[in-house]
Chain A
Amino acid sequence: MSGRVLVVDDEPHILRALKASLRGAGYDVETADSAEGALTAAAVSPPDAIILDLVLPDGRGTDVTRELRTWSSVPVIVLSVVGEESEKVAALDAGADDYVTKPFGVDELLARLRAAMRRVEASHEPVYEVGELRVDLEKQSVSLSGRPVQLTPHEFALLRLFVRNEGKLLTHAAILREVWGRGYGDESHYLHVYVSQLRRKIEPDPARPRYILTEPGAGYRLVAPMS
């Protein structure tokens, strides 16, 4: 894996640790320690991804994201801390792709970074395989470990969105927009219930989901189960 990553944090020790870890994982790393520095660095030499702390000495990561989104679609992963959940959600709504909560492990951060950098392929692959799950978008058929699974049209639309964005965080707003269109109404209250229903059909143990993970307060994420 390679690419240029801009890391923005005002804590020198965190910056140093991230720089070392990302370099070790094969990325080129730029750093900035302020909101203004981040925007300048991103404009001067556009990175392939940005890791952005939510609290900066001269502004909020949420505002940086919003500003960035007016001229760039570079993947942004925000660093949030416990107790700032609403700020995290605001950043995701402003256009951030994903988040990790401090303190985080390097493996978790690298996984998020890979998922965020993997573009949604414009070409519509007809068949997705995630773990034991096989989704054929053309035939609209789903099977789990070779056994067919019957889904309602909305459940299928949800699953289609998930498999096309494997590993990526899908916020509640994004899911509702993609599955129900812009005019969704009361369904928003029932999103979690729909997801639970889908889980009961594709998860061997719905209380221990291995495919569709809940990101509390943020959204859902489809992952390939760890074997």
Chain B
Amino acid sequence: MLIGVLVGAGSVSVVSLAVAALRPHLPVLSLGVLYVFAVLAVAVRWGIALAAVTSVASMLAFNWFFLPPTHTFQLRDGANWAVLAVYLVTAVVVSALAAAARQRSDDAEQRRREADVLAEAAGDLLRGVELTAELDKLADLVAGALHVHGARLELGERDPVPGEHAVPVEVALRRVATLFVADTDAPDPVAVKRFLPALAALIAVAGEKARLEAEALEAAALRQSDVIKTALLRAVSHDLRSPLTAIVASAEALASEQVDLDPADHGALVDAIREEAARLDRVVANLLDVSRLEAGAIESHPELWSVDDLVGQALESVRADGDRIVVELDPQSPPVRVDAAQIERVLANLIENALRFSPPGSPVVVRAEHGTTELRIHVLDRGPGIAAADRASMFQPFRSGAGGGSGLGLAIARGFAEANGGRLWAQDDPSGGHFVVALATEPRPALRV
């Protein structure tokens, strides 16, 4: 304001000097219009009130310096009163127009800035940037748009602490967030009233979107777990009951006094009990593994192992049909840092799968290759192979192939491979089933001898 007064006084002085310089050449009355520039300069920057003061000052200066009798505020010629009155009115009208134009341009600029903030915020929030992660950035943008020095945006409502000024961010009378600024720095209420409801609507939409997404995710998870439970019950009733049935029938036959068994039948029944009990044990172990994998409760205890040890342990656990397995290892393979028991399950499940889905007597090849950073163990069979469409879904639990059973083996294999930082996939191979386990290699230790 003080600057406005000084600028007003200065520009009136400058115009007066210009009029004095031009007076020898032009009629003095026609020069009075030059004072409009002084008034305009003030009107554009400091508004109509100071402009009006400046026009009265201009009129007085013109009268004092240039209208006879000079150096008095009296006028010799009565017509000069009319001239002064016209100047005054012109100056006031022009300055009012200028101030209004300036205000409109300021308003337009302000709205543009607010619109920019909303557009940027909307872009971020609807693109899926999480609302809570976005609040600080949003607060900075809002502070910029409202011309305050720093602001905090918090979801919901809380009382301001001393030194803080709380501005509610509301949509339809519902408080979605609160803007906190320094209480010496309260923003323009007009801008607040215009701008914050739009911001509030945006925040409300973003919050709603996040909530709906979370609900959809939860619903999908529930559906998925329902599917798994149903499949689990089906698998349990088949996979647990059939060995149980065999065991009970064999044991009853052995115990029955009505049944007369020759030694061969006796041995066969005993063998059946042992084999079916072992099968039951594998089913239970698989169920336990898959439930721990699904629950994310698998802990790995990685140690350095060589590939022949890992393959050896897997072969040890695959008892049946072991003579069909052809092992091709490179003794130079670097070691891998894995949980051996878990990788044993990966390989054993792949080998059992290959044995089951390929013709009896045909070979199953376990081949290890290594690159610079990766050890790849291939398990190949001469079976029908895997249709491209099934290559992804076959690793889901309970997606059994033609062989019956609960189809947990591949899901467990992939779960354990990934728990050890590895990968497992089915490869396109015209000659039959082809699975690959990839594990990161460690540099070969410099063994002290």
Binding site for B on A (CB under 8 A): 82-83, 85, 103, 105, 152-155, 187, 189-190, 192-197, 199-200, 205-209, 213-214, 216-217
Instruction: Please indicate the chain A residues that have their CB under 8 angstroms from the CB of B329 in the complex.
Output: 206-207
Q: Do residues A193 and B316 form an inter-chain contact, with CB atoms below 8 A? A: no
Q: Do residues B447 and A217 form an inter-chain contact, with CB atoms below 8 A? A: no
Instruction: Please indicate the chain A residues that have their CB under 8 angstroms from the CB of B288 in the complex.
Output: 82-83
If A82-B281, A192-B306, A196-B308 are given as contacts, then 16 extra A-B residue pairs at C-beta distance below 8 Å, sorted by A number, are A154-B449, A155-B449, A189-B445, A192-B303, A193-B304, A193-B305, A193-B306, A193-B335, A193-B447, A195-B309, A199-B308, A199-B309, A206-B312, A206-B331, A216-B340, A217-B340
Instruction: Please indicate the chain A residues that have their CB under 8 angstroms from the CB of B316 in the complex.
Output: 213-214
B117 CB-CB contact with A under 8 Å = no
Q: Do residues B448 and A82 form an inter-chain contact, with CB atoms below 8 A? A: no
Residue A214 contacts which of B274, B292, B313 (CB distance < 8 angstroms)? B313
Smallest CB separation, B431 vs chain A (Å): 22
Q: What are 29 A-B pairs with beta-carbon distances under 8 A? A: A82-B284, A82-B285, A82-B288, A83-B292, A105-B274, A189-B304, A190-B304, A192-B303, A192-B305, A192-B306, A192-B309, A193-B304, A193-B305, A193-B335, A195-B309, A196-B305, A196-B308, A196-B335, A199-B309, A205-B327, A206-B331, A207-B312, A207-B315, A207-B366, A208-B312, A209-B312, A214-B312, A216-B344, A217-B341
Q: Do residues A153 and B449 form an inter-chain contact, with CB atoms below 8 A? A: yes
B145 CB-CB contact with A under 8 Å = no
Smallest CB separation, A19 vs chain B (Å): 19
Give complex CA distance A217, B338 in Å.
Answer: 12
Q: Do residues A103 and B308 form an inter-chain contact, with CB atoms below 8 A? A: no
Instruction: Please indicate the chain B residues that have their CB under 8 angstroms from the CB of A214 in the complex.
Output: 309, 312-313, 316, 340
Instruction: Please indicate the chain B residues that have their CB under 8 angstroms from the CB of A190 in the complex.
Output: 304, 445, 447
Instruction: Please indicate the chain A residues that have their CB under 8 angstroms from the CB of B313 in the complex.
Output: 214, 216
Please judge, given known A-B contacts A103-B281, A214-B340, whether A207 and B447 are in contact too, CB under 8 Å: no
A-B contact count (CB 8 A): 78
Give complex CA distance A206, B448 in Å.
Answer: 21
Smallest CB separation, A1 vs chain B (Å): 23
Smallest CB separation, B300 vs chain A (Å): 11
The interface bits of chain B over 240-284 (1 if a CB of A lies within 8 angstroms of the residue's CB, else 0) are 000000000000000000000000000000000010011001001
Please judge, given known A-B contacts A82-B285, A208-B315, A208-B327, whether A196 and B309 are in contact too, CB under 8 Å: yes
Instruction: Please indicate the chain A residues that have their CB under 8 angstroms from the CB of B211 in the complex.
Output: none
| Interface band, chain B | 20 to 34
B301 CB-CB contact with A under 8 Å = yes
Residue B327 contacts which of A85, A195, A207 (CB distance < 8 angstroms)? A207
Give complex CA distance A190, B447 in Å.
Answer: 8
Smallest CB separation, B256 vs chain A (Å): 20
Return the chain A residue nearest B333 by Cβ: A196
If over half of B's interface residues share one DSSP class (helix, strand or loop), that class is named, otherwise mixed; here it is helix
Please judge, given known A-B contacts A207-B327, A214-B309, A217-B301, whether A152 and B449 are in contact too, CB under 8 Å: yes
Complex A-B, nearest 6 residue pairs according to Cβ-Cβ distance, in ascending order? A152-B449, A196-B306, A216-B341, A206-B308, A207-B327, A207-B311
Return the chain B residue nearest A205 by Cβ: B327
Give complex CA distance A200, B327 in Å.
Answer: 14
Instruction: Please indicate the chain A residues that have their CB under 8 angstroms from the CB of B305 in the complex.
Output: 192-193, 196
Give complex CA distance A98, B59 in Å.
Answer: 114
Return the chain B residue nearest A195 by Cβ: B309
Instruction: Please indicate the chain B residues that have their CB under 8 angstroms from the CB of A153 in the complex.
Output: 449
Give complex CA distance A154, B335 in Å.
Answer: 19
Give complex CA distance A190, B444 in Å.
Answer: 10
Smallest CB separation, B375 vs chain A (Å): 13
Instruction: Please indicate the chain B residues that have their CB under 8 angstroms from the CB of A85 in the complex.
Output: 341
The interface bits of chain B over 285-312 (1 if a CB of A lies within 8 angstroms of the residue's CB, else 0) are 1001000100000000101111011011
Return the chain B residue nearest A83 by Cβ: B288
Q: Which of B319-357 contact A (CB under 8 A)?
A: 327, 329, 331, 335, 340-341, 344
Instruction: Please indicate the chain A residues that have their CB under 8 angstroms from the CB of B327 in the complex.
Output: 205, 207-208
Return the chain B residue nearest A197 by Cβ: B447
Q: Do residues A187 and B340 form an inter-chain contact, with CB atoms below 8 A? A: no
Instruction: Please indicate the chain B residues that have their CB under 8 angstroms from the CB of A217 in the complex.
Output: 301, 340-341
Instruction: Please indicate the chain B residues that have their CB under 8 angstroms from the CB of A199 in the complex.
Output: 308-309
Q: Do residues B449 and A192 form an inter-chain contact, with CB atoms below 8 A? A: no
Instruction: Please indicate the chain B residues that have their CB under 8 angstroms from the CB of A195 in the complex.
Output: 309
Give complex CA distance A14, B155 in Å.
Answer: 62
Which of B281, B305, B306, B329 has the largest count of A CB atoms less than 10 A from its CB? B306
Which of B277, B312, B331, B335 has the largest count of A CB atoms less than 10 A from its CB? B312
Give complex CA distance A139, B306 in Å.
Answer: 30
Return the chain B residue nearest A214 by Cβ: B313
Instruction: Please indicate the chain B residues that have their CB under 8 angstroms from the CB of A193 in the complex.
Output: 304-306, 335, 445, 447
Which of B274, B366, B448 has the largest count of A CB atoms less than 10 A from its CB? B448
Instruction: Please indicate the chain A residues that have their CB under 8 angstroms from the CB of B284 in the complex.
Output: 82
Return the chain A residue nearest B366 by Cβ: A207
Q: Do residues A103 and B277 form an inter-chain contact, with CB atoms below 8 A? A: yes
Q: Do residues A187 and B306 form an inter-chain contact, with CB atoms below 8 A? A: no
Return the chain B residue nearest A187 by Cβ: B448
Smallest CB separation, B421 vs chain A (Å): 17
Give complex CA distance A187, B303 in Å.
Answer: 12
Instruction: Please indicate the chain A residues that have their CB under 8 angstroms from the CB of B292 in the complex.
Output: 83
Give complex CA distance A214, B306 in Å.
Answer: 12
Give complex CA distance A155, B445 in Å.
Answer: 15
Smallest CB separation, B373 vs chain A (Å): 18
